[in-house]
């Protein structure tokens, strides 16, 4: 056997994505380079690691077993590197965070300075849907998660990060205004919703229910980015977090429509299991948030103030 750590790393990414194309994108390598690494690793085993069925790549049972061992090997290599850095006086280790999809507009601002100050720290940030974020907490797979609605069934510790402000927005090229009919209570435009389980969806439906607003035509999409593109295209309007549409508002591609009892304001929370035993890296990140949070909000998110009604 003469496999390399690089081959194992590439193979793990292929197993994770079940796609050479997606693995190459994640690793910032060309597809041929990833294919060569897979072939070089495969040549050392008489049993297939992968198979292609109907143009789709599958990991064989043997490949899954090799991936499990490869993951352990790479984790041990990381541990050696972290120990070396720690003996040199550097903070070293891995910080793992799970973030709901809209949180990708928030969390990087609270990580960038911390990562620059601690080059021995490796960051793993999974941007996904709320269900997967909650699952990662339940399975103790991450140090922290970023959510705007706390999962009620989990015993969590929390840090309030910053406000999440939601307004009704639309493309002014398609909609001059959005009204609610006083007789029927029905809103005058199609409304675009996130999928069931989304915190944005919950906030939107709570608002409509609380104030007796009926929806005529509904459209449901499964990501904040998909909702934004649909609103830009004039498919309808939506109640959206301002944090994800800064550029579109500044360029005039999207417009806030005045509606009674808006905006909705929730809170972004960094959360973790109460029983979690934090690593030195995780504890250092909590200290960083406590000391730097206000400065980061004041510097990077001051633009939000101009959209908040006094």
The CATH number of residue 242's host domain is 3.40.190.10
Structural domain including 192 reads 163-266
Task: Tell whether omega for the bond before 263 is within 30 degrees of 0, i.e. cis.
Answer: yes
252 and 288 housed in the same domain: no
The predicted pLDDT at position 176 comes to 85
* Least confident stretch, 69-78, 149-158, 191-200, 243-252: 69-78
157 and 271 housed in the same domain: yes
If you average pLDDT over residues 49-62, what whole number do you get? Answer: 91
- pLDDT over 70 for what percent of the chain? 97
The predicted pLDDT at position 223 comes to 86
Handedness of CA 16, 22, 27, 30 (dihedral sign): positive
CA distance 87 to 160: 34
Nearest to 211 by CA among 178, 177, 180: 180
202 and 134 housed in the same domain: no
Q: What is the pLDDT of residues 65-114, one digit of tens each?
A: 999 999 888 878 777 776 776 666 678 888 999 999 899 999 999 999 99
pLDDT over threshold 90, residue 271: yes
Helix/strand/coil (H/E/C) assignment for every residue in the chain: CCCCHHHHHHHHHHHHHCCHHHHHHHHCCCHHHHHHHHHHHHCCCCCCCEEEECCEEEECHHHHHHHHHHHHHHHHHHHHHHHHHHHCCCCCEEEEEEEEHHHHHCHHHHCHHHHHHCCCEEEEEEEECHHHHHHHHHCCCCCEEEECCCCCCCCEEEEEEEEEEEEEEECCCCCCCCCECCCCCEECCCEEECCCCCHHHHHHHHHHHHCCCECCCEEECCCHHHHHHHHHCCCCEEEEEHHHCHHHHHHCCCEECCCCCCCEEEEEEEEEECCCCCCHHHHHHHHHHHHHHHHHHHHHCHHHHHHCCC
241 and 230 housed in the same domain: yes
33 and 95 housed in the same domain: no
CA distance 203 to 156: 21
- Which pTM was predicted? 0.74
> Residue 42 sits in a domain of what CATH number?
1.10.10.10
pLDDT over threshold 90, residue 305: no
275 and 158 housed in the same domain: yes
Instruction: Please identify, among 35, 66, 85, the residue that sits at the C-terminal boundary of a domain.
Output: 85
pLDDT over threshold 60, residue 171: yes
For the record, the structure tokens of 142 come out as 């991450």
CA distance 293 to 271: 15
Instruction: Please identify, among 85, 113, 137, the residue that sits at the C-terminal boundary of a domain.
Output: 85
258 and 275 housed in the same domain: no
φ, ψ of residue 166 in degrees (nearest 5): -120, 130
- pLDDT over 90 for what percent of the chain? 70
258 and 274 housed in the same domain: no
145 and 200 housed in the same domain: no
Q: What is the pLDDT of residues 207-216, one digit of tens each?
A: 999 999 999 8
183 and 262 housed in the same domain: yes
| Residue 310 pLDDT grade (very low, low, confident, very high; cuts 50, 70, 90) | very low
The predicted pLDDT at position 251 comes to 94
* Least confident stretch, 84-93, 162-171, 229-238, 248-257: 84-93
140 and 97 housed in the same domain: yes
Go through the chain and tell me how many residues it has.
310
For the record, the structure tokens of 281 come out as 């890296």
Compute the radius of gyration of the chain from its Cα atoms: 23
pLDDT over threshold 60, residue 203: yes
Residue given tokens 């510790």 in the structure block: 157
Tally of domains in the chain: 3
Instruction: Please identify, among 31, 66, 85, the residue that sits at the C-terminal boundary of a domain.
Output: 85
167 and 262 housed in the same domain: yes
Q: Is 197 left (phi over 0), alpha (psi -120 to 50) or beta?
A: left
């Amino acid at each position: 056997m003469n496999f390399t750590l690089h081959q194992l790393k590439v193979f793990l990414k292929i197993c994770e994505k079940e796609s050479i194309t997606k693995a190459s994108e994640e690793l910032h390598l060309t597809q041929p380079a990833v294919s060569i690494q897979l072939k070089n690793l495969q040549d050392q085993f008489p049993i297939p690691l992968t198979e292609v069925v109907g143009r789709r790549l599958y990991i064989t049972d043997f490949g899954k077993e090799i991936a499990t061992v490869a993951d352990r090997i790479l984790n041990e290599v990381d541990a050696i590197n972290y120990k070396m850095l720690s003996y040199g006086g550097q903070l070293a280790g891995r910080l793992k965070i799970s973030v709901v999809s809209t949180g990708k507009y928030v969390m990087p601002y609270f990580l960038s300075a911390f990562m620059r100050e601690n080059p021995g720290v490796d960051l793993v940030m999974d941007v996904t849907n709320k269900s997967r974020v909650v699952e990662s907490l339940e399975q103790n797979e991450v140090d922290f998660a970023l959510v705007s609605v706390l999962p009620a069934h989990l015993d969590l510790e929390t840090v309030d990060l910053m406000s999440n402000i939601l307004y009704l927005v639309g493309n002014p090229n398609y909609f001059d205004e959005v009204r609610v009919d006083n007789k029927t209570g029905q809103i005058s435009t199609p409304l675009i919703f996130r999928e069931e389980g989304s915190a944005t969806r919950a906030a939107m439906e709570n608002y409509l229910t609380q104030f007796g607003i009926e929806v005529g035509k509904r459209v449901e999409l499964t990501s904040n980015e998909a909702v934004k593109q649909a609103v830009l295209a004039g498919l309808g309007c939506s109640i959206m977090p301002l944090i994800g549409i800064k550029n579109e508002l500044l360029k005039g591609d999207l417009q806030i429509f005045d509606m009674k009892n808006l905006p909705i304001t929730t809170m972004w929370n960094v959360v973790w299991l109460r029983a979690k035993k934090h690593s030195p890296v995780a504890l250092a990140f909590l200290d960083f948030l406590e000391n730097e949070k206000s400065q980061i909000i004041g510097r990077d998110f001051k633009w939000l103030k101009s959209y908040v009604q006094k």
